[in-house]
Structure 1
């Protein structure tokens, strides 16, 4: 009986080790598809948003890099959705915006807006997980607004 158990475990181990040597295909990373609007020039408002967050480093880290600029345009134009929720049971969903830290890597004295305005909201100011494979939602404190960050892979 003991010899059978040893043989079984040995067979199982050999099978496991040989399987570990078999090449496997890694799941491919989804390609990012941009809407055609990212090829349009920056608007005055978008340029202001980039400069607000990147300050004197805007050219060096965003504006002088076409692919990075395309990614930022995609965030500003296509991936951040602000919705007002009229049904109170849905307005409680998501992390509070006040709990999301500011992106102060380039402009140390960046501050939150005193009053939320969906027309002037700058999503680049926040450390949202823009490069996640999943969408996320954030509740704007004291309002019925939610901010949805769509995945770049959707």
Structure 2
């Protein structure tokens, strides 16, 4: 009986140690980059919706709050180097959302400080976690919105 207790403690310790190693390895390989800043929200919406921004977004408090929540809380950038065989969708394959601004241009050089994810025709309101490869070093992650 004493042997079982020692064996269980050893097993528990090994499991905890393994979890710690996996977590610290992921943390070393993945670094969360800065998020969208609150003062950028309105400009990002205006860039994509142009003259219709007020009618479609700003005049509707619920929709505006949804966009703010999306940009400030649900979209994250992570520094994660590309690995062969990964299953991220390349953002370069996603069309631009040009419904209201025909002059939108794809971002050639990614800069986390001014990158506007609203320019891309991404299903931001999916119930699933969405991940896109931005470039060799960064991914974009959209967490699902909480349902009531």
Question: TM over 0.5: same fold?
Answer: yes
Q: Secondary structure at the match of 1:138?
A: strand
Q: 2:115 aligns with which of 82, 97, 121?
A: 121
The 4+ residue runs of structure 1 with deviation greater than 2 A are 88-93
Please give the alpha-carbon distance, in whole angstroms, between the structure 2 residues aligned to 1:64 and 1:71.
Answer: 13
CA RMSD of aligned residues (A): 2.0
Greater helix fraction, Structure 1 or Structure 2: 2
Equivalent in the alignment of 1:47: 42
Please give the alpha-carbon distance, in whole angstroms, between the structure 2 residues aligned to 1:116 and 1:57.
Answer: 27
Q: 2:137 aligns with which of 141, 144, 149?
A: 144
Decide whether aligned partners of structure 1 residues 85 and 95 sit closer, same or farther in structure 2, where only a CA change above 3 A counts. Answer: same
Shift of 1:91: 8.8
Shift of 1:113: 1.3
Equivalent in the alignment of 2:52: 57
The answer to whether the 8 A contact 1:102-1:125 is kept is yes
Shift of 1:43: 3.9
| Structure 1: 5+ residue stretches without partners | 1-41
Shift of 1:103: 0.7
How many residue pairs were aligned?
A: 111
Q: Secondary structure at the match of 1:53?
A: helix
The answer to whether the 8 A contact 2:38-2:72 is kept is no
Q: What is the TM-score normalised by the length of structure 1? A: 0.66
Larger Rg: 1
Please give the alpha-carbon distance, in whole angstroms, between the structure 2 residues aligned to 1:91 and 1:117.
Answer: 25
Please give the alpha-carbon distance, in whole angstroms, between the structure 1 residues aligned to 2:72 and 2:133.
Answer: 20
The answer to whether the 8 A contact 1:91-1:146 is kept is no
Please give the alpha-carbon distance, in whole angstroms, between the structure 2 residues aligned to 1:108 and 1:90.
Answer: 35
Q: Secondary structure at the match of 2:51?
A: helix
Please give the alpha-carbon distance, in whole angstroms, between the structure 1 residues aligned to 2:55 and 2:70.
Answer: 19
| Structure 2: 5+ residue stretches without partners | 1-36
Alignment of 1:1-154 (within 5 A): 43-86=38-81, 88-89=82-83, 92-141=86-135, 143-153=136-146
